[in-house]
Structure formats: structure tokens, C-alpha cells
Amino acid sequence: MITARAFAGKHYAVYGLARSGLATVEALLASGAKVTAWDDSPEAREKLVSCEGRSPGLGPCLRRDTEWDLSNFDSLVLSPGVPLNRHPLAARAKAANLEIIGDIELFARARGELPPHKVVGITGTNGKSTTTALIHHILQTAGVPSAMGGNIGLPILAQEPLSPNDKGAGVYVLELSSYQLDLTQSLDCDVAVLLNITPDHLDRYENFDAYAASKARLFELSSGLHVQGCIPAKAGIQSGLLPSQEHNWPALQGPHNLENATAAIAVCKALGLSEEAIEQGLRTFPGLPHRMERVRERDGVIFVNDSKATNSTAAAPALAAFPAIRWILGGRAKSDDLDECAPHFGHVRSAYTIGEAAELFERLLKPHMPVKNCHELEAAVKAAAQDAESGDTVLLSPVCASFDQFKDFEERGDRFRGLVGAL
């Protein structure tokens, strides 16, 4: 794990004990800090047991947050999932003038004690995970020491510090959500990437401009190269140009993945990789689960898991990529329209709506295509499979968050995969 002498002797409050929270507690304790932690979930608290046994003399770790005297702490480390705009603990910390940070900021403060390295930060509404994983894969394929972390689900503090080798300094590749950027103050990236900005997470921000400003903070923090994707160009920002040559990148199909690949190429060139090394990485990239993931072919019908498509902009590329689709969509809606998907309705032969948004999407889609309100994913998969003909694609691309029926988009995609496998 990544530790730092800079944390020793300080007292941190850690609220939220999911993956990044647990890794934060472990790293802080290993650094010689004192930690008081809490999570409202009993299951999350159970994962953090016997802190005294792991770090003798540091005192109890778990204490209900309502009992915290915030004047006793040096910093409050929040999970990115805790809403800064409405959680009472955040309000209490602000009133007490206690700094509120996240694990990415702790990583930024530990950098001075790490071996020579570089940091690539990637943000944007869509494409972050694929671009992060692609850059990491290209670096690994080229023999450059690299570690991947952040919003992609791998806590950066849980990674081992990178040591330089004959290919150069190590590179930390970070996927950064707007929530993480809100909790970050001093992350100076060697290469900062802003892929795109479209409306999302508006329950956490006053308006779209506030959300966009949160994303743009990555450029404000970073003094290195700025790489901008398909959003209006600004002074001092390098916009990537799409490769014009023919390419053979099996896991990077569709125009959206061409944009992701373009950003990755720009980053890797900036890091000094050769065109040959970059091309090899692009060609061998295996792709990511839940992102236009081909699950199975059955009687000429392809089943595709695109559970990560949690908004209309993210779902549109999958609709564009297949000519004859049986579309499963729904969940907890982030908006009351499907405008970004509308240009590709001609590719959809029939739709199957699920979750809280089932009635809304049924009403929106009925003028354009046959629609069945299936309520549950199980019924939708069964109905779509029955209706599908050879040459069709049964596509789970939900346009919605998963939290009405599933823990997260991974659980939803895993469930789809299991249902398809059982057909």
C-alpha cells in the first residue's frame, strides 16, 4: 500500500467504509496516524474489525459519527459517495472549519515520498474507465511500470508504490469522478485528460454549470499537458484529432471508442511511448466488463452487456453500433428524456423497460417502436430472447442508475450475464 510519514501523528476522521474507505484507513494506520471511522452500514463496519490489533496503541477505530468532536481531527476523509451538498456531517465539518478531503488528495500529499513517477488523471462524463484501463494496458504492454486506481474501483492507496525500471519512471493512471475532484486540492497531474461533459449527477450539483466546473477543476489543478476530448476547445488545451488510418482494435469498436483511443494515444505519446508500442497496446486491449461486452451468441442472436451505460449519452454509442436491436433499458432515471439516443431509434426493433423508469420510457418509446413494460430484468431478458431473430442483438444498455433494483451497475451486468447464460 501507499503510506507517508506526512500522515504520522495526525488524527483523521474517515466516513464511508467501502473499498476506498477501507484502503484509506489501512494506509493511514500503517503511516502512523490515528483514525476514527464510521459507516452507517453494519456490513461495511464488519469489514473493519480489530483495528487495535493491527495497529496497537492507536485506539478504537469505529465510533458513530454523531459522537465525533470535530475539533479533535486534522482532516475529515469522505467517501466520494457521500453527498457534500446535503450530508449533515459535511455541513458540521464546514461549520467547524475542518478540511474535507478524499483518498485522492491523500495520494497527492504522499507523492513527495514516492519514487520518481508521473501521474495521468482522466475525467469526463463518459469513457473514463475505458480510457483509464486502455492507457494502463498500453503502458503495461510496453513494459512501463504502471498502476491503475481511483473511480475505476481500485483504491489508489491500496496499490504498491511504483519503482522506475529501464523503461522509465512509473505512471499512476487515475480515473477521477467529479465527486473525487470535489475532495481534491493538490493533485498536479503530468497529463490531465477531460474527455467530455454532458448532464449527469445533477442531484449533487446546483446546475449543469456547477457539474461542468467540477470536472474542469482537473485542468485547474494540473500544470502538465492538458488533453481535451470532444468538447469545445479552450486556450491552452490540446484537442485530440481522430486517427484517419485503418486500424484493427477488436475491443474498441464504435465512434465513442475511437474517441477514447484518441485520448489514450495522445497521453501515451506525451509519456514518450513509440507508435509501435501504442499500436500493440491498442490491438491487444481486452476491453472492460459491462461496457459493450459481448456475452454470448445463441442461434444467431448476440447478447451484449452495456450495464455501465447509466445515462442517455453513454447508451447512444451502443445503439449506433448494432443494426437490429432488442433494447433492455430502465432503472433509476437521471433525466426525463432519451434525446441523445433518439437518432438511433431506427436500429431498435423492440424495447423492454424495467425498474422505476419503466413507465416513463414506455411512454417515450411507444411512438417509435414496439415496447413491453417488463418491470424486472429477468422478464426483460426472457421476452427479448423470445422475440429476437437471427442477426439481432439483445442489448442491455439501461440509460439509468441501477440503485432501484441492484447494488451497482456491476451487479446488474452480472445478473444479465447470468440470465443470458441460463437461456
Q: Please report where in the chains the cell 509501435 appears, as a residue.
A: 276
Sheet of strand 34-38, all strands in order from the earlier edge strand to the far edge: 34-38, 11-15, 75-78, 100-101
If pLDDT is split at 50, 70 and 90, which confidence band does 230 have? low
User: Cβ distance 98 to 73 under 8 Å?
Assistant: yes
Q: What is the spatial distance between Cα 316 and Cα 306, in angstroms, rounded to a whole number?
A: 11
C-alpha cell at 192: 490531465
Q: What is the spatial distance between Cα 221 and Cα 214, in angstroms, rounded to a whole number?
A: 11
What per-residue confidence (pLDDT) applies to 234? 36
If pLDDT is split at 50, 70 and 90, which confidence band does 391 have? very high
Task: Kindly tell me if the per-residue pLDDT of 73 is higher than 60.
Answer: yes
For the chain, the average pLDDT equals: 91
Q: Please report where in the chains the cell 494496458 appears, as a residue.
A: 137
Q: Which of 30-34, 228-232, 256-260, 279-283 has the lowest mean pLDDT?
A: 228-232
pLDDT digit string (tens) for 74-130?
A: 999 999 989 888 899 999 999 999 999 999 999 999 999 999 999 999 999 888 999
What per-residue confidence (pLDDT) applies to 109? 98
C-alpha cell at 338: 432519451
Q: What is the spatial distance between Cα 304 and Cα 395, in angstroms, rounded to a whole number?
A: 5
CA angle (92 as vertex; 61, 201 as ends), nearest 5: 95
- The residues annotated as belonging to the active site are 128, 151, 201
What per-residue confidence (pLDDT) applies to 201? 73
What is the pTM for the complete model shown? 0.80
Estimate to the nearest angstrom the gap between the alpha carbon of 268 and the chain centroid: 20
Classified as helix, coil or strand, 359 is helix
What per-residue confidence (pLDDT) applies to 236? 34
Task: Kindly tell me if the per-residue pLDDT of 244 is higher than 60.
Answer: no
CA angle (351 as vertex; 287, 200 as ends), nearest 5: 55
Q: Give me the helices (H) in 5-67, please.
A: 19-30, 42-46, 51-54
Q: How far is CA 305 from each of CA 159, 309, 327, 362, 420, rounded to the nearest angstrom?
A: 29, 9, 11, 21, 10
Query: What's the rounded mean pLDDT across residues 185-211?
Result: 89
Q: Which of 215-229, 234-248, 399-413 has the lowest mean pLDDT?
A: 234-248
Q: What is the spatial distance between Cα 274 and Cα 327, in angstroms, rounded to a whole number?
A: 41
What per-residue confidence (pLDDT) applies to 233? 36
Task: Kindly tell me if the per-residue pLDDT of 199 is higher than 50.
Answer: yes
Q: What is the spatial distance between Cα 175 and Cα 135, in angstroms, rounded to a whole number?
A: 11
User: Would you say the C-alpha torsion 381, 384, 386, 392 has a positive or negative sign?
Assistant: negative
pLDDT digit string (tens) for 177-193?
A: 999 999 999 999 999 99
Q: What is the spatial distance between Cα 406 and Cα 423, in angstroms, rounded to a whole number?
A: 21
What per-residue confidence (pLDDT) applies to 50? 52
Phi then psi for 139, rounded to 5 degrees?
Answer: -60, -45
Q: What is the DSSP string of 281-335?
A: HHHH----TTSSEEEEEETTEEEEE-TT--SHHHHHHHHHH-SSEEEEEESEESS
C-alpha cell at 235: 486556450
What per-residue confidence (pLDDT) applies to 237? 35
Question: How much of the chain exceeds pLDDT 70, in percent?
Answer: 93
Residues 6+ apart with CB under 8 A from 287: 130, 251, 252, 293
If pLDDT is split at 50, 70 and 90, which confidence band does 238 have? very low
Task: Kindly tell me if the per-residue pLDDT of 423 is higher than 50.
Answer: yes
Q: Please report where in the chains the cell 457521500 appears, as a residue.
A: 82
What per-residue confidence (pLDDT) applies to 241? 41
User: Cβ distance 165 to 143 under 8 Å?
Assistant: yes
Question: How much of the chain exceeds pLDDT 90, in percent?
Answer: 77
What per-residue confidence (pLDDT) applies to 12? 97
What per-residue confidence (pLDDT) applies to 392? 97
Query: What's the rounded mean pLDDT across residues 54-75?
Result: 80
If pLDDT is split at 50, 70 and 90, which confidence band does 246 have? low
Task: Kindly tell me if the per-residue pLDDT of 385 is higher than 90.
Answer: yes
